[in-house]
Amino acid sequence: MTPIHHARSPFLQRLPHLLPALFVLCGPAFAQTQAGSDNALSLSFDAARARMIDRSDKLAAARAAVEAKELQSQGLKGLGGPSISVSGLAYAYNANLNLDLDPLNQKLGQIGSSLPSSIQSVITRVPIPQLPNSYTLNRHDSGANASISAVWPIYIGGATDAVRGFVSAQTREAQADAEQAGHEVDTLLVQRYFGAQLARRAAALRLQAERTIAQHDSAAQKMLAAGVISRVERLQASAAYEEARRNARKAENDAALASVALARTVRADGSVAPQTPLFLISTPIEPLGYFIDSALTRHPGLGKVAAKKSQAEQLHEGEEALRRPQVIAFGTRELKSGNADWVAGVGVRWTLYDSVDRDMLSAASLKQVEQAERTDAQARSDISLLVERNWRALENARRQYLEMKASVELAQEVVKLRTAGLREGTSTTLDLIDAETNQAKVLTERAQAANDYVQALAQLLESAGLSDRFSDYIARADVKVN
């Protein structure tokens, strides 16, 4: 690459007057990028979270599941108590019975032959009447009846308590699922909210680089016309500008998509402009043990495992209840005045033999209890490891951001050096373009490190069951990436 030695050429004498417009950095470009988002809904993180909680379908579904189990539990509170019912009926009937009278007629005809002869002579003079060959009897009636009945299971081996306990454990499981859903949507909001913030910043930096390099490209064209640079250097500047344009368009599209994703999360029409900047707490936060202790007491996954264990225990109690005797009181009475029919008593039922092997079923239910206990132990180990991984990722992101300060300062100094070198003829336009491109890259990478910190913090709080405290850490932040 040919350095510029014509420091006193007419073009280079005019170049310092052009450079101030070329080397303006973040301020105007970022302002113009924000101006393009004037129609977007501006939301702070807390406002976005409140909006999401109010409108999230996932949270609404989880709440509905909890309410359904709570209503079911309330509906079974009286299970095992007395049951009283009233029954009534109205009826009408018509019945026909056909009688064959031929055998009776034959018997009547044979009566005279068995009598004395003196009486037979009299009977012959008085004929015996004949019955019809058949006769139809008809009966019909209508009526009504009503009665009241009561059944009271006095003792059924504890089966009702097992059913109520099982449903109560299902309610606790639904509550744990709802808590987990709340943590998940909080983490998702952090991902999309600050991801959109990072995308906007990256788009602003790319747009700044594109405009600055476009002006350098224009200057390079003039320098080529003046014979100050070679055609190869001119083509290099043009290629750098085309690459900057492509990067700017891609960053712009990424920012638009991130804004739409955030809008979907908070159920907003159009796009959303996040107002809370990326942040960082420059000093280490609470120690690892603090988050592990919190996770082992607050993580909804452990609550769900505990609910599963309780369900298994209640199923075992239900199996055992079937082995015990059952005592039931009952009674029924007709609903009428006077001498009404009624009956009352006590029934006992005890299964002495069943084709189902109750011992095997009891052993199976105990194994389910053991499974839940083992799952709880494994879950505690996994959650502790997850918390430690997230805590270390947070610390790595914090150190990375702070350590990149030197890289940012170096990139800024190189831009200043190349700018001065271009004025003095010791640097080329391409040198300055490379320096500014590198500066945009370093600034974007540092913003990415800040976003990594924010995302790691959200993951850590979720694993510790503390997602609702994310805003507290925003308030504690002493570094804001504006």
Give the count of domains, the chain. 1
What would the pLDDT profile of 116-133 be if each residue is shown by its tens digit? 666 656 555 556 666 677
d(CA 42, CA 258): 14
User: Does 143 reside within a domain?
Assistant: no
User: Does 245 reside within a domain?
Assistant: yes
- Per-residue pLDDT, 127: 61
User: Does 222 reside within a domain?
Assistant: yes
User: Does 327 reside within a domain?
Assistant: no
Backbone torsions φ then ψ of 356, nearest 5 degrees: -80, 135
Interior/surface letters 223-232, b for 16+ CB within 10 angstroms, e for the rest? bbeeebbeee
User: Does 119 reside within a domain?
Assistant: no
User: Does 352 reside within a domain?
Assistant: no
| CA distances in angstroms from 212 to 52, 148, 228, 249, 368, listed in the order given | 39, 93, 20, 15, 68
Q: What H or E segment, with its residue span, contains residue 94?
A: strand 83-100
Q: What is the pTM of this model?
A: 0.76
User: Does 40 reside within a domain?
Assistant: yes
User: Does 140 reside within a domain?
Assistant: no
| CA distances in angstroms from 461 to 16, 296, 387, listed in the order given | 53, 13, 8
d(CA 240, CA 233): 11
Low-confidence ranges of the chain (pLDDT < 50): 1-37
Judged by DSSP in three states, 362 sits in helix
CATH code of 270's domain: 1.20.1600.10
Q: Considering only CA atoms, which of 214, 234, 201, 376 is closest in space to residue 303?
A: 376
Interior/surface letters 366-376, b for 16+ CB within 10 angstroms, e for the rest? eebbeebeebb
What would the pLDDT profile of 362-396 be if each residue is shown by its tens digit? 899 899 999 999 999 999 999 999 999 999 999 99
Give 254's contacts (C-beta < 8 A, 6+ positions apart): 199, 202, 203
Residue-number span of the structural domain to which 454 is assigned: 10-81+187-288+362-481
* Positive or negative: CA dihedral 267, 273, 276, 279: positive
